[in-house]
Structure 1
Amino acid sequence: MEHRFADCTLDDARLTLTRGGNAVAVEPKVFDLIHLLVRNAGNLVTREQMVDEIWGGRIVSESAISACIAAARKAVGDTGKAQAVIRTVARRGLMLVAEVSAEAAGPASVAVPAFPEAEQRIRYCRSEDGHAIAYAVSGEGPPVLRFGPTSLQDLELEWALGLHRSWVSSMALHARLLRFDTVGSGQSERILRDVDYEVEARDAAAVADAAGFNRFAAVSYSGGCLPALTFAAHSPERLTRLAIVGGFVEGRSRRSAESAPDALRGLIAEGWARPESVFARAFATAYFPDGPAEETREVLRMTQSAAPPEMMLRTRDASNTASVAHLLGQVRCPVLILHARDDAVHPLSQAQQLAAGIPGAELVVLETANHVPLHGSPCWESYNRTLAEFLTG
């Protein structure tokens, strides 16, 4: 069914939204909110209804709800001040006040991007030492490979959890996104393997080969910058551009001869195996002090399930002593570095060293204390837009 209101058309069969004839990229929960309001046009939609339908009745932070409402208003060309389409009913909920007409969907009149498939398809390839690596591809467009933090990703949970599914859906509107779990974690073969960033870079090449990616862009998160920069230096002919989010040049034990004991390693050792333990929550808070709380819990749930404590400790020890300073001058592709201004895990000075050492690299400073921006953060939309525009050229 096509629902027409203001200058927008929402197609609930194709899961698309257009405004003025142009496709509008919206995340799944934002689309669901607009759809809920359209189906109840002229009637009050309470916060309880929103939580029940969009978040499945789960506990949701006010900041997450507010961020979803703000994104919905922006998508339909409205503002919190004008409220010409979506009106706030104080202390009660929302109402879509624009006139709505509905008709059966006809042939698509404009080219609109599709969301990722309703079901994720996980495939496997083999590393050079014979271990199974799980990977998945979503969306259409320029090819983009993601280097996630070593041992902290799980394709299955990432697809199931709202925060991560939203990011995958958002990126897949613009690109053909290739994600994989490192050996020892997630849906890949669960073995205790020594952490070696050159081996991980070759694993990424094996995944790219299996997915049919010849030349592609890449994005890395946190410690994922270590194999990503190794790949960029050793395989310059394959990488078209590289985005680095929350990256670093040197691990914490290399930054100062007088480094204090690693408190985060202690939190992993004490509480990683116990879901929702106070130690695990403290670890998550150190990475995401700005929240929102619900999204932080989702990150913690996924990362605790992604790898056992023994693998996490190996990963932590390897990153603490790592250095990619010798590789920076060898990177030849365009590089964009995005880093939180108040990141306490890897300080902004590390991002500045990356930008100074990589020829032609650019640095964007994000106004947050979260190590990586989370959905619901004030900088979320601009961060996502900047990242997508860079990766797709």
Structure 2
Amino acid sequence: MIYTFSDCVLNLDRRTLLREGVAQHIEPQVFDLLVLLVQAEGRTVTKDEIIAQIWDGRAISDDAITSRIKSARKAIGDDGRSQRFIRTLPKIGYRFDGHVDAPSGDPQQPAPNPGDETSAPEIGYVTDRKGRSIGYAVHGDGPLLIVPPFWVTASDLWHDYPDIQEFFLTLGKGLRILRYDRPGSGLSRDAYPNETLEDEVALLEDMVAAFRADSFSLLAISAAGPVAIRYAVAHPKKVDRICFYGAYGSGEDLAPPESQAMLLALIRQHWGVGSRALADIFVPSADAEDRRRFAAQQRAAADSEQAAAMLELSWQIDAKLDTPKVDVPTLVLHRQEDRAVPVDHGQWLARSIPGARLQLFPGDAHAPWFGPIDVALQANSFLLG
């Protein structure tokens, strides 16, 4: 079934959107939201209806809906101020005001340009050994680089966050990057969360098997550090190189138990306040708008209970005893004033992994895409060898 409006063609069978004859890159959830609004032409679609249809009734934040609406507007060339097509009705919902022609046949569809490096990544799902549906995103060409999840992530949020897009495009020059979301987060939101380091390593093994990867490199950010260490020791012939950023060997050393308990309680009871508290830790020198945006990214990726469970796991995982057994070329990158994972954790990794090289950067941002793009440039140079 095909709907046309203005200069847009929305093809439900192919799940594609053309604007002025050019294929638009649109994430699956955003596509479903646009279809819902177009099919309800002239009728107000409440937030409750959107949550029921797009998120299967799960508890999600207003920021998550707003983010998807913004992406839908961008895809169809709508102006958020004039709201020519998608109109916001404050505290009520949204209404599609464009004139939609009656459904018709399937016009010829031009293929997207594979050379366009700003193209959205390929989105897909893998069923792991526990029967869970794990969402992933792949982009780029070249040797494979796997980026295991490091916190709550949403790999389908690509065009919504230009800083994340720029980081991964810079990192991925000459590489094929595979990112996947932790169970309970982002594209894997419907899957129950992992509980142990062994669960995290098993998930990485399942992704490697699904992609039939004979060899690849790893970028281990933050809590992905112990996962990469344990995997590399278990499968040394598969890992070409490891680049750590803001990573650690043992999560229990990051914060005293009483601080952990207080933050977990805050996240579970007041996720809005908790996400802002984490933003103050992860990107303390960012301006107020960037901290607000970072907090919104976290809330869009996971609900309060999922986020708390994943943070608790990040503090529990420990691969310290495995670090001397890592036998692959290793680079450790760390920002000197990182508050979430202090620099001494990166220094310890570099000392403990045989032959590892350490490079420190100025700044206090734990999120690698905040600040200068130097982290992505250095990681890319090392990973390409």
Q: TM-score range by the shorter chain?
A: 0.5 to 0.7
What amino acid sits opposite 1:188 in the alignment? S
What displacement does 1:194 show?
3.8
Cα shift at 1:320 = 2.0
Secondary structure at 1:370 match in 2: coil
Measure, in 2, the Cα distance between the counterparts of 1:137 and 1:156: 10
Contact 1:163 1:298 survives alignment (8 Å)? no
Contact (CA 8 Å) 2:282, 2:366: kept in 1 or not? yes
Local SS of the residue matching 1:179: strand
Q: What's the offset of the Cα at 1:117?
A: 5.8
Matched, 1:184 2:179: no
Cα distance change of structure 1 residues 372 and 118 upon mapping to structure 2, 3 Å threshold: closer
Number of aligned residues: 276
Q: Report the Cα offset of residue 242 of structure 1.
A: 0.5
Asked if the contact 2:331–2:357 (Cα under 8 Å) also holds between the matched residues in 1, the reply is: yes
Q: 1:261 to 1:383 in 2, by over 3 A?
A: closer
* Matching residue within 286, 289, 295 for 2:284: 289
Output the CA distance in 2 between the equivalents of 1:162 and 1:238.
Answer: 32
Q: 1:119 to 1:341 in 2, by over 3 A?
A: closer
The one-letter amino acid paired with 2:259 is P
RMSD: 2.6
- Checking the alignment, whether the CA contact within 8 Å between 1:147 and 1:179 is kept in structure 2 is yes
Quote how far apart the aligned CAs of 1:148 are.
2.4
- Letter of the 1:270 counterpart: Q
Where 2:200 maps in the other structure, the secondary structure is helix
Mark the runs of 5 or more structure 1 residues left unpaired by the alignment: 1-12, 14-55, 59-112
1:353/1:119 CA distance change after superposition, 3 Å: closer
2 CA distance for matches of 1:175 and 1:384? 12
Change (3 A) 1:172 1:320: closer
1:349 alignment partner in structure 2: 344
Which secondary structure state, in structure 2, belongs to the residue aligned with residue 164 of structure 1?
helix
Give SS of 1:218's match: strand
Match of 2:377 in 1: 385
Letter in 2 for 1:223: A
| Residue among 259, 262, 275 paired with 1:261 | 259
Whole-Å Cα distance in 2 between the matches of residues 179 and 145 of structure 1? 6
2:330 counterpart of 1:332? no
> Secondary structure, in 3 states, of the residue corresponding to 2:186?
coil
Contact 2:189-2:302 within 8 A present in 1 as well: no
Taking the aligned partners of 1:159 and 1:328, their CA distance within structure 2 comes to 37
**Structure 1 residues 308-359: Cα deviation after superposition (integer angstroms, max 9, x where no partner):** 2212222222222332111101211111111111112221111111111111
Once the two structures are superposed, what CA deviation does each residue of 1:3-28 show, in whole Å capped at 9, x if it has no partner? xxxxxxxxxx9xxxxxxxxxxxxxxx
What is the distance in 2 between the residues matched to 1:182 and 1:251? Answer: 17
Partner Cα separation in structure 1 for residue 235 and residue 134 of structure 2: 20
Is this contact kept in 1: 2:168–2:376, CA < 8 A?
no
Q: Which moved more, 1:114-123 or 1:162-171?
A: 114-123
Q: Alpha-carbon deviation of 1:145?
A: 0.5
**1:271: Cα distance to partner?**
2.4
Q: Which residue number in structure 2 is paired with residue 136 of structure 1? A: 137
Distance 1:57 1:225 in 2: 40
Aligned partner of 1:201 in structure 2 is 201
Matches for 1:83-98 after TM superposition, within 5 Å: none
Q: In the alignment, what sits opposite 1:316? A: 311
CA distance in 2, matches of 1:287, 1:122: 27
What runs of 5+ residues in structure 2 fail to find an aligned partner? 1-21, 23-78, 82-113
The reply on whether 1:216 has 2:216 as its aligned counterpart is yes
Aligned to 1:165: 165
- Residue 212 of structure 1: how far off its partner (Å): 3.7
For the residues of structure 1 that align with 2:129 and 2:221, how far apart are their CA atoms? Answer: 24
Q: Take 2:126 and 2:366, find their aligned partners in 1: how far apart are those partners?
A: 31
1:125 match: 126
Give the Cα separation in 1 of the matches to 2:150 and 2:158: 13
Q: Provide the C-alpha distance between the structure 2 equivalents of 1:131 and 1:161, rounded to a whole number of angstroms.
A: 27
Q: In 2, are the aligned partners of 1:153 and 1:186 still within 8 Å (CA)? A: yes
CA distance in 1, matches of 2:147, 2:124: 16
Tell me how far apart the structure 2 counterparts of residues 202 and 165 of structure 1 sit (CA, whole Å).
Answer: 28
Is residue 140–residue 176 contact of structure 1 (8 Å, CA) maintained in 2? yes
Distance 2:254 2:287 in 1: 30
**Partners of 1:286 and 1:255 in 2: CA distance:** 12
- Give me the TM-score of the superposition, normalised by structure 1: 0.64
Select which of 356, 359, 369 maps to 1:361.
356
Q: d(CA) in 2 for partners of 1:175 and 1:219? A: 12
Cα separation, partners in 2 of 1:373 and 1:184, compared to 1, 3 Å: closer
Secondary structure of the residue aligned to 2:360 is strand
- TM-score of the superposition, structure 2-length normalised? 0.66
